[in-house]
Amino acid sequence: MSAAATAGPLAEPPAARRRAEKNRTRERILDAAVVAFAEQGYEGTSLATVAQSVGLSQPGVLHHFRSKRGLLMAVLERRDQIDRIRFGMDSVDGRDVLDHLADLMTHNATVPGMVQSFSVLTGESAAENHTAHDHFTRRYAGLRSHFAKMLTGAQERGEIRPEADCAAAATEIIAMMDGLQLQWLHAPQEVDMVTVFRSFLDRLRADPNET
Amino acid sequence: MSAAATAGPLAEPPAARRRAEKNRTRERILDAAVVAFAEQGYEGTSLATVAQSVGLSQPGVLHHFRSKRGLLMAVLERRDQIDRIRFGMDSVDGRDVLDHLADLMTHNATVPGMVQSFSVLTGESAAENHTAHDHFTRRYAGLRSHFAKMLTGAQERGEIRPEADCAAAATEIIAMMDGLQLQWLHAPQEVDMVTVFRSFLDRLRADPNET
DNA sequence: GTCTATAAGGCGATAGAC
DNA sequence: GTCTATCGCCTTATAGAC
């Protein structure tokens, strides 16, 4: 019999399990932070409100993230990881790239809290002094280059108008998504961002009657 | 001789002049607030920094605006007034409406501080609790209806593709402007928002070879 | 019209007990 | 790993002198 088994039900849980528990708390804090940033923005959010919504004290939150800035960075990094999975898969299979983009917008329409959180953070980060300014600058540059590559491939397959400039189109598509989300967040029942986005994409699409 | 002239150089200036002086101070505070909001956002800005940049004490600023919220509202109202003049004129003369929109973007590229200030405020205001949320909701609704009217007129004059949905196009154009400005603010030397905006507008333009 | 002084409270972060 | 207590600072807004 191992030492742990001998110790009985009062024994310390194994290290692996304790680590998992800690990570679960971390995740709960991150989720709460996303909600708080959506409702108040980063500057408008206090660690105390995040702490309260996960049932911890304010120093309890700072045990998991060394500072408020650290919490924001963790939120942004986790989002980038999810993006890498989602966007990475988009370019693999054989479906129409523009349909994929429309699907992405359709998905976004089902998670308004996420969209609101990152729209507010993106706007705040336009201020050069903002903690997340550089992060969003890098994010935009990465998105533009990834989208441009995807669109070039689609153009070679005849999915996109042959005269289109794919780098410019990448910038346009990202701008349209961000801008539509802003209007949708301000008037969800008035702005049908999925339909408008589709009609925008359709003007980029190659005419099926040609070639 | 009037009473004022008799009183000599130590006399009180006439009421009209004192009012003008006060208004000039108000304007200086408003200008400083726009700059501060651009650099820090509304939530990140303190009245003390605005006060310092116009050479007043913090209560000195609150003498002109009853609260921080009041200062923000005054900034937004002044912007709306300028917009009303600019957009009101656009629809009057006979020039191409899409060219006017491109000119607007060209103008915006020369006033990055303004663009930054209102982009940050728009993003912050996507949070439903934000002080300016309702203001931006109304602003967006007004812009959409004004743009849709302008575009319908242009479509009747044959400037815009006859199959285009003008209400959707209005939403698209506003979204593209907001979105391009966000990317441009994060990387002004990488994103040529005027050129990209022009190529976007060109796809809305009626084909000159038809009709 | 602008100031100084101050009220009244929120903030992020740290120290140290358990 | 989480708490309580606390430090030190910053915030908006008001009261009252000049």
User: What pLDDT, in 10s, does the model give residues B42-65?
Assistant: 999 999 999 999 999 999 999 999
Strand partners, A160: A205
A19 falls in which pLDDT band (50, 70, 90)?
confident
Estimate in Å the CA B153 to C1' C10 gap, whole number: 53
pLDDT in tens, A24-42: 999 999 999 999 999 999 9
Which of residues B83 and A22 earns the better pLDDT score?
Answer: B83
Cα–Cα distance between A196 and B152 in angstroms, integer? 17
**Does position A117 have pLDDT exceeding 70, yes or no?**
yes
Is the CB of A130 less than 8 angstroms away from the CB of B44?
yes
Structure confidence at residue A91 (pLDDT):
55
Number of A–B residue contacts, CB under 8 Å? 161
- Averaged over A125-153, what is the pLDDT? 97
Task: Give the nucleotide nearest to A26 (CA→C1').
Answer: D1
Estimate in Å the CA A48 to C1' C11 gap, whole number: 9
Strand partners, A205: A160
Q: Which of A53, A76, A99 is the last residue of a domain?
A: A76
Structure confidence at residue A207 (pLDDT):
87
Looking at the structure, tell me whether residues A122 and A158 fall in a common domain. yes
Looking at the structure, tell me whether residues A21 and A110 fall in a common domain. no
Question: Which nucleotides in chain C lie less than 7 Å from some protein C-beta?
Answer: 1-5, 10-16
Looking at the structure, tell me whether residues A55 and A129 fall in a common domain. no
Contact B18, B43 (CB under 8 A): no
Looking at the structure, tell me whether residues A189 and A103 fall in a common domain. yes
Looking at the structure, tell me whether residues A191 and A150 fall in a common domain. yes
Is the CB of A126 less than 8 angstroms away from the CB of B125?
no
Q: What does the mean pLDDT of chain A come to? A: 92
Range of the structural domain that residue B58 is part of: 10-202
**What is the domain-level CATH number for residue A27?**
1.10.10.60
Return the number of other C-beta atoms located less than 10 Å from residue B24's C-beta. 10
Is the CB of B43 less than 8 angstroms away from the CB of A43?
yes
Q: For chain B, give the secondary structure using H, E and C.
A: CCHHHHHCCCCCCCHHHHHHHHHHHHHHHHHHHHHHHHHHCCCCCCHHHHHHHCCCCHHHHHHHCCCHHHHHHHHHHHHHHHHHHHHHHHCCCCCCHHHHHHHHHHHHCCCHHHHHHHHHHHHHCCCCCCCCHHHHHHHHHHHHHHHHHHHHHHHHCCCECCCCCHHHHHHHHHHHHHHHHHHHHHCCCCCCHHHHHHHHHHCCECCCCCC
Q: What's the domain count of chain B? A: 1
Is the CB of A126 less than 8 angstroms away from the CB of B116?
yes
Determine, yes or no, domain membership for B193: yes
At residue A56, the 3 state secondary structure works out as: coil
**What is the domain-level CATH number for residue A132?**
1.10.357.10
Looking at the structure, tell me whether residues A104 and A164 fall in a common domain. yes
Determine, yes or no, domain membership for A63: yes
Cα–Cα distance between B171 and B192 in angstroms, integer? 21
Structure confidence at residue A87 (pLDDT):
81
Task: Give the nucleotide nearest to B66 (CA→C1').
Answer: D13
End-to-end CA distance of chain B: 75
Q: Which of A76, A110, A128 is the last residue of a domain?
A: A76
Looking at the structure, tell me whether residues A108 and A206 fall in a common domain. yes
pLDDT in tens, A68-116: 999 999 999 999 999 998 887 765 566 899 999 999 999 999 999 999 9
Cα–Cα distance between A12 and A18 in angstroms, integer? 9
Return the number of other C-beta atoms located less than 10 Å from residue A170's C-beta. 21
Give whole-number Cα distances, B18 to B6, B22, B54, B66, in Å.
19, 6, 19, 20
Cα–Cα distance between A76 and A79 in angstroms, integer? 5
**Residues of chain B below pLDDT 50:** 1
B69 touches strand D (CB under 7 A): yes
If residue A136 lies in a helix (H) or strand (E), which one and from where to where? helix A133-156
Helix axes A112-124, A15-40, angle to 10 degrees: 70
Q: Which of A46, A76, A106 is the last residue of a domain?
A: A76
Sole residue written with tokens 């001998």: A6
Measure B135 CA to nearest chain A CA, in Å.
10
